[in-house]
Structure 1
Amino acid sequence: MDVSPTLPPGFRAAGLCCGLKDDGAFDLGLILADQPCTAAAVFTRNHFPGAPVLLGRETIRGGVLQAIVVNSKVSNVGMGEPGLVNASRMAHAVAENYQVDPGHVLVSSTGVILQRLPISKIEAGIAACADLLGPDPLPAARGMMTTDSYAKAVTVKAGEATITVLAKGAGMVAPDMATMLVYALTDATFSSSELDALLRETVDQTLNMLSIDTDTSTSDTCAILASGRVSVDRTEFATALHNAFVQVTEMLARDAEGATKLLRAVVTGANSAADAKTFAKALIDSPLIKTMAYGADPNVGRVLMAIGKCVTCEIAADAVQITINGTVVYGEGKRTDFDEEAMRNSLSGDPVEISVLVNHGPHQATAYGCDLTESYITENAAYYSS
């Protein structure tokens, strides 16, 4: 069951502008639990991780978190030892102001790479959050935003437990665990090892199947905190968490830089899970398919091209069937006699869903992306100086 975004009992959040953004937009978010929580996290696999990621990998080894602090505008990447010192200062500022262990604070930064973090402004902002803490997750989500057009948070129920997920993305999104930052909070009871397994499985099926521009950020972070107030059915919780992450994944895709619509690729019949994922990712990553969706151009041969170039995957030509928004456009080795004008109208809508049967196997995968527009180029051409 979905409900309006609100934090689970035992969590509070705040957001504000601490002076990193010249326009007064929020640039700092804080999430605070009333007590230490079991936790798990996954991070970017980019070879140049930001200082907060390096610190976070060490922090999460203990399997316990009580706070998350995030700044936007500056990513604290590629700054050497001073960057690590500043990430640690953020954790200690939270610890000193809110009486938590600095080793239980997860730090994230997102924004321009290779710029010095204005740490004094952030420290002052962390202290100022004290008067703003409350049950609404959206102020903290606003503090995480870079080129996102709106703050993203969803809340779902799993029995008596509440799950709330905060996220930001927009560009440089091709996770391999956007900058993509995602934080799941729950009052359910789990061990840190259970959370780790659950998070990795959920991320693998959702966020790791999201690609906006194939660029894997230096700062990607996804974490889950469980306060242990409520007992839950494991299967019911896993389903609810998956559904929440699907919602967030589709929100991130729809709100990508310059995007006008969600692109969803569903692959079935693959001989292996790896093949299914490769096919699905090939569809959403193809610039020709992304521009086909944007221009509502029924050039469906581009779909055949995209799956055909997956040369390491097994494909059965006699089995291949391509369906776009419910209309079969290819099957039995040839194009079907579909109505091009009707297809053009269909492609003008949101979402665009491409379903492909690739073989006679049991595996399937869904990938999420968006169209490619002139606005993506405009936004990224000016991002450094914006």
Structure 2
Amino acid sequence: MQHVYAVDRFRASPTWPVGFRAYTGHGGLRADGDDISIVVSDRPAVSAAVFTRSRFAGAAVRLSREHAAGRRLRAVGTLAKNANVATGRPGDTHAAEVAGRIAAIVAVPTDEVLIGMTGVIGRPLPMDTIRAHLDRAARLGPAGFDADPVRVARAMMTTDTRPKTAERTVGRARIVGVAKGVGMLEPDMATMLAYVFTDAAVPPTELDAAFRAAVDKSFNCLSVDTDTSTSDTAAILANGAAGPVDPAEFAASLADLCLDLTEQLARDGEGATKLLRVTVDRARDDAQAKRVAKSVLNSPLVKTAVHGADPNWGRVVMAVGKNSADTDIDPNRVTVRFGALEVYPADPTPAALAELGEYMRRPEVDIHIHLGLAGGTATGYGCDLSAGYVRVNADYTS
């Protein structure tokens, strides 16, 4: 499995797998810069997708759920800076029109188009400017699509500070992913917008199973602020141009790519200065491990301690203890470490606390919690909590 690293960590810029083309342009949704993107396969593809469970899911999510059910998605279109959520029937009509216009541009059936919309909730789409822009894109046509994955990832951004891309190879096939999202991130089936494209030939049932398994161990283990978005969408399209691949190698590479994107998203969390990983093992089962990891990862007190490099490790055991329904968690069996430094049940000396403070100044902080019960394990991915998060979200629409 070959790794090609993402641009925000001095990585080479990836190119699309065989058969995929992309377009980006400025449709007037943001003041300047591209805000509309389209990725399309030049041949039929199979697909899998997962979406937010929010009861206020946006019109794009509701429409794309219907289209994704056929597992034959061939194009993905995204509008940034406007989520088209809580906009009533006009929002539904506008989402259907955008999907239909994109389908016409790339000459595929409308029900083979997935659309994503992300940004401010409760504002109607500026359809006049969007229509005018898509008319110009139609005159260009897919033959003129020349945007690379970095441009697509950048066009998807809202409060992101950098584009997120990742790439892996499996045999002769390649897998390329793009993602956006830095706030309103507490996944429930999916998180933010994440699209994966591959030229591997994978049967739709196998693709769906591999993608859901990858999402569960990566995007669904991510949290920035405990808030689940109304627009979360994650999808994969496979057009088979490179031929069949080993199923186990494909699943492993896909999972690794999704985890790469997850960590990029966590590093770029709104106001974030550090990546925070919380691993729980020897839990009763994986579900318990994930629940405990999330309770630590989402604790404002833990996150602010990490931000300030304050060696207040007691906040971690507090967050573990919040899981009051998990009556099998016994403090006498629990062990807590920061990196390699055990803080509980050890009684850290002043020198050890100073060492812990130094460790917490690093750009990546790992907390390990051993429950001493059984074989369950999970890792959660997130970030510290800084004043920058408050500034970004206090002024988001003003």
TM-score range (shorter-chain normalised) is over 0.9
User: What is the rounded CA distance, in whole Å, between the counterparts of 2:135 and 2:45 in structure 1?
Assistant: 22
Partner of residue 18 from structure 1, selected from 23, 27, 35: 27
| Match among 320, 324, 342 for residue 307 of structure 1 | 320
Match of 2:8 in 1: none
Aligned match of 1:214: 226
1:178-216 CA distance string (max 9 Å, x none): 971000111111222222222111111110110100000
Q: Provide the C-alpha distance between the structure 1 equivalents of 2:344 and 2:198, rounded to a whole number of angstroms.
A: 44
Q: Indicate the SS of the match to 2:43.
A: strand
| TM-score using structure 2 length | 0.93
- Aligned-residue offset at 1:350: 1.2
Find out whether 1:106 has 2:114 as its counterpart. Answer: yes
User: Residues 110 and 179 of structure 1 are in contact (CA less than 8 Å); yes or no, is this contact kept in structure 2?
Assistant: no
Once residues 299 and 127 of structure 1 are traced to their aligned partners in structure 2, the CA distance between those partners, rounded to angstroms, is 57
Question: Which residue matches 1:43?
Answer: 51
**CA-to-partner distance for each residue in 1:27-85, whole Å, 9 max, x for gaps?**
11111111121011100000000000010011011111111100111100011111111
Task: Describe the shift of the 1:135–1:188 C-alpha distance in structure 2 as closer, same or farther (beyond 3 A).
Answer: farther
User: In the alignment, which of 318, 321, 324 is matched to residue 338 of structure 2?
Assistant: 324
Contact 1:7 1:135 in 2 (8 A): no
Deviation at 1:267, TM superposition (A): 0.5
Moved more, 359-368 or 123-132: 123-132
* SS at 1:36 equivalent: coil
* Counterpart position of 1:355: 368
> How far apart are the structure 2 equivalents of 1:293 and 1:249?
19
Unaligned runs of at least 5 residues, structure 2:
5-11
CA-to-partner distance for each residue in 1:76-125, whole Å, 9 max, x for gaps? 00111111111111111112222111111101100000000012322333
The letter for the 2-side match of 1:28 is I
Unpaired segments of 5 or more residues in structure 1? none
Q: Over residues 273-329 of structure 1, what are the superposed CA-to-partner deviations in whole Å (9 max), with x where a residue is unaligned?
A: 111011110111000000011000000011111111111223132321111022111
The answer to whether the 8 Å contact 1:13/1:30 transfers is yes
The match for 2:60 among 52, 55, 69 is 52
CA contact (8 A) 2:191 2:219 kept: no
Separation of aligned partners in 1, 2:152 and 2:175 = 16
Q: 1:167·1:183 contact (CA, 8 Å) conserved in 2?
A: yes
Say whether 1:126 aligns with 2:126: no
Larger deviation, residues 96-105 vs 176-185: 176-185
2:190/2:215 contact within 8 Å kept: no
Q: Single out whichever of 291-300 and 97-106 deviates more from structure 2.
A: 97-106
Report if the CA contact (8 A) 2:266-2:382 is conserved. Answer: yes
Partner of 1:164: 176
The whole-number CA distance in structure 2 between the counterparts of 1:136 and 1:265 is 34
CA contact (8 A) 1:15 1:142 kept: no
Aligned length: 382
Tell me if the contact between 1:171 and 1:213 (Cα under 8 Å) persists in the aligned partners: yes
Deviates more, 1:336-345 or 1:5-14: 336-345
Contact 2:99/2:115 (8 A) holds in 1: yes
Deviation for aligned residue 1:360: 3.0
Q: Deviations over 1:148-198 (max 9, x none)?
A: 001111111122210111000011000110971000111111222222222
Structure 2 residue aligned with 1:141:
153
User: What residue in structure 1 maps to residue 358 of structure 2?
Assistant: 345
Q: What is the alpha-carbon root mean square deviation over aligned residues? A: 1.5
SS of residue paired to 1:64: coil
| Alpha-carbon distance in 1 for matches of 2:69, 2:203 | 13
Q: 1:33 to 1:203 in 2, by over 3 A?
A: same
Matches for 1:244-263 after TM superposition, within 5 Å: 244-263=257-276
Number of the residue aligned with 1:95: 103
Residue of structure 2 in register with 1:2 after alignment: 3
Shift of 1:379: 0.5
Please name the residue that 1:373 is paired with. 386
CA 1:178/1:168 → structure 2, altered by over 3 Å: closer, same or farther? farther
Counterpart selection for 2:196 from 184, 188, 193:
184
C-alpha separation in 2, matches of 1:291 and 1:34: 48
1:258 and 1:375 in contact (8 A); partners too: yes
Pairing 1:279–2:292 present: yes
Amino acid at match of 1:328: E
Alpha-carbon separation, structure 2, partners of 1:159 and 1:311? 48
SS at match of 2:55: coil
